[in-house]
């Protein structure tokens, strides 16, 4: 899936940190490809201040978050300055759209934005939108070919807050993903099992995959 906010993650030699902001800790991972397999190059953890019961992990004080991200990066030994971070699933709007197949990219983007307006409780101008093609939709003889498109949207203010926290920690946010999708990508790839704290690093691992070429 493409990333929110028109941030695009281009693989590069400088590396990329997957940054997972959890309820009690920040975990960062940098991956490397060795002989065709993925391995953990750097891994670090920093504990976060305790939150009140029922509070979201993204309710941490922003200065404390930035300090923890910087601490986790330092603990990992990574020198990467680029980062992929995640939005919690409950802060995202997702919707499957069915649109005409074969549209040029520019027309598809315009149509997705027009369709998105009816699914959001806030103005499109206040949102960061992204989408990916899921595949052809059901078709019948004589029907116009259609394609299913997954729409993902988030409040721009929430996305920018993540970007600013990363900057305060000395990192450049180049990818914003969903924590659920990052975990799904990690589980599918499976390399996180080689890390001692395996299950706890799934989101960070999935985010770090944005920095690698296919």
Q: What sign has the CA pseudo-torsion 141, 143, 145, 147?
A: negative
Task: Give the Cβ contact number of residue 135 at 10 Å.
Answer: 8
Task: Out of 15-19, 61-65, 195-199, give the one with best mean pLDDT.
Answer: 15-19
Average confidence (pLDDT) over 73-81: 95
Q: How far is CA 115 from CA 92, 123, 135, in A?
A: 16, 12, 18
| Confidence (pLDDT) at 66 | 94
Share of the chain above pLDDT 90, in %: 33
Residue with the larger pLDDT of the pair 27 and 213: 27
- 159 contacts: CB under 8 Å, gap ≥ 6: 4, 5, 87, 128, 176
pLDDT at 13 over 60: no
- Average pLDDT of the chain is 84
More confident residue, 200 or 49: 200
Identify the H or E element spanning 98: strand 93-100
* Predicted pLDDT of residue 45: 96
DSSP string, 101-145: TT--HHHHHHHHHHHHGGG-SS-GGGEEEEEEEEEEPP--TTPPP
- pLDDT of residue 11 exceeding 60: no
Tokens of 32: 């490397």
What lies within 8 Å, CB to CB, of 151 at 6+ separation is: 93, 94, 95, 96, 97, 112, 115, 116, 119, 129, 130, 131
State pLDDT tens for residues 154-177: 888 889 999 999 999 999 999 898
Q: What is the mean pLDDT of residues 77-83?
A: 94
For position 194, what pLDDT does the model report? 87
Query: Is the model's pTM score more than 0.85?
Result: no
C-alpha–C-alpha distance, residues 211 and 161, integer Å? 22
CA distances, 156 to each of 25, 88, 151, 162, 181 (Å): 25, 14, 15, 10, 19
Encode pLDDT of 124-163 as tens digits. Answer: 888 888 888 888 877 654 566 888 988 888 888 889 999 9
pLDDT of residue 14: 63
Taking the C-alpha atoms of residue 49 and residue 68, their distance in angstroms, rounded to an integer, is 9
Residue 35 has pLDDT above 70, yes or no: yes
């Amino acid at each position: 899936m493409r990333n929110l906010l028109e941030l695009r993650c281009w693989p590069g030699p400088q590396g990329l940190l997957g940054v997972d902001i959890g309820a009690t800790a920040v975990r960062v991972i940098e991956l490397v490809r060795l002989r065709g397999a993925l391995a953990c190059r750097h891994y670090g953890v920093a504990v976060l201040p305790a939150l009140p019961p029922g509070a979201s992990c993204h309710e941490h004080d922003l200065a404390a978050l930035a300090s923890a991200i910087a601490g986790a990066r330092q603990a990992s030994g990574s020198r990467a300055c680029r980062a992929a971070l995640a939005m919690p699933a409950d802060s995202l709007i997702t919707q499957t759209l069915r649109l005409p197949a074969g549209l040029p990219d520019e027309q598809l983007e315009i149509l997705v934005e027009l369709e998105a307006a009816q699914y959001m409780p806030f103005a499109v101008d206040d949102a960061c939108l992204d989408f990916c093609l899921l595949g052809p939709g059901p078709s019948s003889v004589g029907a116009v070919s259609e394609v299913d498109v997954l729409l993902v949207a988030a409040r721009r203010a929430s996305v920018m807050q993540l970007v600013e926290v990363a900057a305060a920690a000395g990192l450049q946010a180049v990818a914003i993903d969903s924590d659920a999708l990052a975990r799904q990508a990690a589980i599918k790839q499976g390399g996180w099992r080689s890390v001692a704290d395996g299950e706890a690093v799934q989101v960070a691992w999935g985010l770090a995959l944005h920095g690698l070429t296919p």
